[in-house]
Chain A
Amino acid sequence: MLTRLKGGHVVDPANGVDEVRDLFIEDGKIVAAPTDAGSAGEVVDCGGLIVMAGAIDIHSHIAGGHVNTARLLLPEWHRAFSARPGDTALSKVGWTTEETGLRYAEMGFTTVVEPAMGPQSALHAHLELADIPIIDKATLVVLGNDDLLLSMIRDGESADAIADYVAWTVDASKALGVKCINAGGSAAFKENVRSYAFDAEVPDYGVSSRQIVKALQRAVKDTGIPHPLHVHCNNLGMPGKSAEAAEATIMASEGLPLHLAHIQFYGYGTEGKRGFSSKGQELAALVNRNPDVTVDIGQVMFGQTVTISSDEMRQFAGRAQASPGKSIILDQEANGGGVVPMNYQEKSFHNALQWAIGLELFLLIEDPSRVFFTTDHPNGAPFTTYPDIFALLMDRDMRQTWIEALPKGVAKWTSLPQIEREYTLNEIATMTRAAPARLLGTKDRGHLGVGATADISVYRPNEDKAKMFAAAAYLFKDGTKVVENGAVIARPYGRALTLKTQSDAAMGSRLDRYFDDAYGLDSRWFKVDGGALRRDMPFREVPCL
């Protein structure tokens, strides 16, 4: 059936469209306007509404072992477990796979990337993703602390061999890309190293973080994976050292694309009596000067949340700030990780400055196609805070109101009060639609051109931008209307986007032996079998470059 979205203001920067026009949908795709517009079987009146492609979140921890551990650790934020339910952003997230799908859809999101899937947790992650309704999902598989890669680099194995290993892992785990998290840091922590920088060597291997990042960056390119290597730098959150790590990593991109995750957590200097200051301006300038580099923010918002990370060294160090005071840290093959609850407080100088640094970076990085909209859910804040963040980006007066509520000392340590920029709708659409689709290599989405997947979000304009983005007037997923007036009306299952990477058969045999010899594990356990997920079509393949 042909559906006509009639008379909406279409904001589609990927196709240079920013005007009132109709859109037509048929069989889950956007189609050209028919000669007789009246032939549409269904007409959705979008007069006065804003029409965009479905939003894409490139970095949100929504599934897998560590996310599930957070659920185990923190039942008290689930409404039913709480004697006095708190109206917090985290409690609004709910805690289940089903709620994840519903809450994202209500805000007009149609694709979300789980960015930290350990190779061992791949089936677990995909089982969870299979239970998330409506949205499409994808995963980045984590390498860079694994014994095999570090050994290969130490032993001087060829770039081809490393690319084969990466290709095998991406294919086995049904990932869309590769992430490295504090490359070498988790491996070093297992040898009781407590602080680790870009050029430090992992004991036992004599391999530096730089070597690991460069080897993976090249392997990702050689394998034809569209999404550049997704890097969580060393020394996250450490004043001074974090900014140095981000700078060193950016400078190491050396002409090849590189994505730096949640860069806000690296924007910390050491000035002032508290030894904590903003490096937001410097980092933004560095990003502006390095066109190979893309970043996402990891915006902090105030309130209770939980940090979930495969950066085991960082999570171990963060135990001291756990609130409530409990945490789970995992030593595991490769990265391991940890879950540490966190309460970001508006009255805390540190937390308030973190909030300001995130916004500085959002606003000072000039090109909206190189800065991505994330809170590193739930690390900086739960994804249910997105509407407020859209409003902060689009409304300088609102920022001013928030700044006035912060501790007095904060304003003089950040350039935020002086920044006049307000994001336009077109820039928001670039940052959350057009650019993420390009970054992930998913050409069928992020835009509203003919042939695109009919993932379409429609918003009702409102002076209060938070209200506008909290509740989509309509959301279409694969052409089906799934949200109306902010409420879910249908919950079909989306799919996980995967790549078909090719590796030499000899790598398969080598890994069969390796996992058995080194860890006593069966290599077949690392391979995700779509049949185990109990969905008709669990995957949708994205072509390699």
Chain B
Amino acid sequence: MTTAWIDGQPVSTGEAVREAAKLLSSSRFPLVWGSFDDASALREGTRLASLAGGVIDHRDLPTIVPLVEALRDNGMIRVSPGEARRRADRVLVLGSDPFESRTELFEQIFSVRPDLGPAKENAREIVLLGPASASAGAFASAAGEVRSIACPDGEIGDAVAILKAALAGRPFHDGPFEEGGARALAGWLKDAAFAVIVFDAARLDAIAIEVVAGLVSDLNTDTRASALPLAPGGAMGAAEAALWTSGFPLRTGFGRIDPDHDLVLNAADRLLSSGEADARLALCLGDARLGDHDVPTVLLTGGEGVEADRARIVFSVGQPGIDHGTVVHEARFGSFVSRPAERSSMLPNAADILSAIADEVGARVSSNDEARR
């Protein structure tokens, strides 16, 4: 079974690894980019980027950038889904249904009544602040009383700022609320035994997320409340793994010995468009594609032959969690879980290929260092 090609010709894995290492180590500033949902692949990918003096980025990073910025610059009081399930007697849901593609998470939190804390006998009360209607979508089946307050997605940040002002007794404009509505909703949060404010972190900007964190912080002066930002597990897991391997939550460059964290400068698209990245390694699983950029490429692809003609060196790799075991960030658990392979497969693990290329790049770097001495 052939799983590696150079210029379209089948080769041994070892040969392709050496060629990939040659390409990446002779590059000025290589980009390592792609579907790094599997923490094992991310760990090896970071090692490779670091040894090759390049950049590492995740294809879905834009979905977590606002949350990363808000956490980094402001902080937050936040809650795990499991604890929200058991304690949250009042839940404020921000924006268009954040659980739209998160059925399991929705079930985990909303299929039961809270059973811990002073409000455990009460039904859960849920307020949808957003375009969604209380009778539509998943919330129709929530175990609790649901009502909605109409608010366009673009005004969620303002609406939360109004709640914050109402809570503090400062003057405010009614915004999307009826007269007296903001004060009533702020009071409703304040009188909760344990209020949770949940939102899709990809739909708010960093400032809006900071305002939510500010409201939660203010509520905690007297009562208990916590934020539950929802973020895609793949990108979040990659950011977590990048934090311990590089010190930063991704978009990290290693061109100047110490890692450089910059969400804008190190964005894959920008590096490719500007020509700063003169080679790339792309890990394309699922629907990930290379895009329009024309740059010498090492492709690790999970789909048979997908875009193989656009890369100099191609490795066919297995699907994490299907062809081989995987380590992923599980939103319901709020941490990493490992999952075994679902079937026996001859396809290589992308993490192993990345590791082999990193070893080879490392050997080249040290032999160059020796030569210079």
Chain A residues within CB distance 8 Å of chain B? 63, 65, 67-68, 71-73, 75, 78-81, 94-98, 120-121, 123-124, 127-128, 131, 147, 189-192, 203-204, 316, 322, 326-333, 336, 518-522, 524-525, 528-529, 531-532, 534
State the CA gap A147–B256 with chains docked (Å): 48
Among residues 231 to 245 in chain B, which have CB atoms less than 8 Å away from a CB atom of chain A?
239-241, 243-245
Pair B247/A203 contact, Cβ less than 8 Å: no
User: Which stretch in B133-141, B311-319, B330-338, B364-372 binds the other chain?
Assistant: B330-338
Among residues 51 to 73 in chain B, which have CB atoms less than 8 Å away from a CB atom of chain A?
68, 71-73
Pair A78/B71 contact, Cβ less than 8 Å: no
State the CA gap A519–B82 with chains docked (Å): 5
Interface residue count on the B side (C-beta < 8 Å): 63
Given A78-B259, A330-B80, A331-B78, CB of A521 within 8 Å of CB of B247 = no
Chain B residues within CB distance 8 Å of chain A? 39-40, 43-44, 68, 71-83, 85-87, 107-109, 111, 116-118, 120, 193-194, 220, 223-224, 226, 239-241, 243-249, 256, 258-261, 325, 327, 330, 332-338, 340, 351, 355
A-B residue pairs, 9 tightest by C-beta: A95-B247, A520-B108, A532-B338, A519-B82, A326-B75, A80-B258, A331-B79, A525-B337, A329-B77
Q: Which residues of B contact A97 (CB under 8 A)?
A: 244-245
Q: Which residues of B contact A94 (CB under 8 A)?
A: 247
State the CA gap A328–B193 with chains docked (Å): 21
Shortest CB-to-CB span from A236 to chain B, Å, is: 19
State the CA gap A522–B249 with chains docked (Å): 27
Given A123-B337, A190-B87, A316-B220, CB of A75 within 8 Å of CB of B261 = yes
Q: Which residue of A lies closest to B105 (CB)?
A: A520
Question: Which of A65, A96, A191, A329 is within 8 Å of B118, CB to CB?
Answer: A191
Q: Which residues of B contact A328 (CB under 8 A)?
A: 71, 75-78
State the CA gap A376–B161 with chains docked (Å): 39
State the CA gap A126–B40 with chains docked (Å): 13
Pair B333/A521 contact, Cβ less than 8 Å: yes
Main secondary structure of the interface of B (DSSP, over half): mixed
Q: Which residues of B contact A204 (CB under 8 A)?
A: 116-117, 120
Given A97-B244, A329-B78, A518-B86, CB of A192 within 8 Å of CB of B325 = no
Pair A65/B72 contact, Cβ less than 8 Å: no
State the CA gap A147–B83 with chains docked (Å): 10
Q: Which residues of B contact A519 (CB under 8 A)?
A: 82, 85-86, 108
Beyond A332-B79, A520-B332, 17 additional pairs, beta carbon < 8 A: A65-B335, A71-B247, A72-B239, A80-B256, A80-B258, A120-B334, A190-B116, A190-B224, A192-B193, A316-B220, A326-B75, A328-B78, A330-B78, A331-B87, A333-B82, A518-B86, A520-B109
Q: Which residues of B contact A190 (CB under 8 A)?
A: 83, 87, 116-117, 194, 224
Q: Which residue of A lies closest to B248 (CB)?
A: A75
Q: List 25 A-B contacts (CB under 8 A).
A: A63-B244, A71-B243, A75-B248, A80-B256, A81-B260, A123-B327, A127-B336, A131-B43, A191-B117, A204-B120, A326-B75, A327-B75, A328-B76, A329-B78, A330-B77, A331-B80, A331-B226, A336-B83, A518-B86, A519-B85, A524-B337, A529-B325, A532-B40, A532-B325, A532-B327
Q: Which residues of A contact B260 (CB under 8 A)?
A: 80-81
Q: Which residues of B contact A95 (CB under 8 A)?
A: 247
Shortest CB-to-CB span from A88 to chain B, Å, is: 15
Q: Which residue of A lies closest to B246 (CB)?
A: A96
Q: Which residues of B contact A529 (CB under 8 A)?
A: 325, 338, 340
Q: Which residues of B contact A331 (CB under 8 A)?
A: 77-80, 83, 87, 224, 226
State the CA gap A94–B111 with chains docked (Å): 44
Shortest CB-to-CB span from A310 to chain B, Å, is: 13
Shortest CB-to-CB span from B236 to chain A, Å, is: 11
Q: Which residues of B contact A534 (CB under 8 A)?
A: 40, 43-44, 351, 355
Given A80-B261, A120-B335, CB of A128 within 8 Å of CB of B249 = no
Shortest CB-to-CB span from B123 to chain A, Å, is: 18
Q: Which residue of B lies closest to A82 (CB)?
A: B258
Shortest CB-to-CB span from B306 to chain A, Å, is: 27
State the CA gap A71–B71 with chains docked (Å): 11
State the CA gap A147–B43 with chains docked (Å): 34
Q: Which residues of B contact A191 (CB under 8 A)?
A: 117-118, 193, 224
Q: Which residue of B lies closest to A128 (CB)?
A: B244
Q: Which residue of A lies closest to B216 (CB)?
A: A329
Given A63-B244, A521-B332, A532-B327, CB of A73 within 8 Å of CB of B43 = no
Q: Which residue of B lies closest to A95 (CB)?
A: B247
Pair B241/A127 contact, Cβ less than 8 Å: yes
Q: Which residue of A lies closest to B68 (CB)?
A: A72
Shortest CB-to-CB span from A131 to chain B, Å, is: 6
State the CA gap A128–B46 with chains docked (Å): 14
Given A80-B261, A124-B335, CB of A72 within 8 Å of CB of B82 = no
Q: Which residues of B contact A121 (CB under 8 A)?
A: 335
Shortest CB-to-CB span from B283 to chain A, Å, is: 16
Given A316-B220, A532-B40, A534-B351, CB of A73 within 8 Å of CB of B335 = no
State the CA gap A140–B327 with chains docked (Å): 22
Pair A68/B337 contact, Cβ less than 8 Å: no
Q: Which residues of B contact A123 (CB under 8 A)?
A: 327, 335-338
State the CA gap A203–B72 with chains docked (Å): 34
Question: Which of A71, A326, A520 is within 8 Å of B74, CB to CB?
Answer: A326
State the CA gap A452–B179 with chains docked (Å): 76
Pair A127/B39 contact, Cβ less than 8 Å: yes
Pair A326/B73 contact, Cβ less than 8 Å: yes
Q: Which residue of A lies closest to B196 (CB)?
A: A331
Q: Which residues of B contact A98 (CB under 8 A)?
A: 245
Q: Which residues of A contact B330 (CB under 8 A)?
A: 525
State the CA gap A72–B240 with chains docked (Å): 8
Given A124-B336, A329-B77, A520-B332, CB of A80 within 8 Å of CB of B259 = yes
Q: Which residues of B contact A72 (CB under 8 A)?
A: 68, 71-72, 239, 243, 249
State the CA gap A20–B335 with chains docked (Å): 51
Shortest CB-to-CB span from B72 to chain A, Å, is: 6
Q: Which residues of A contact B246 (CB under 8 A)?
A: 96
Pair A120/B78 contact, Cβ less than 8 Å: no
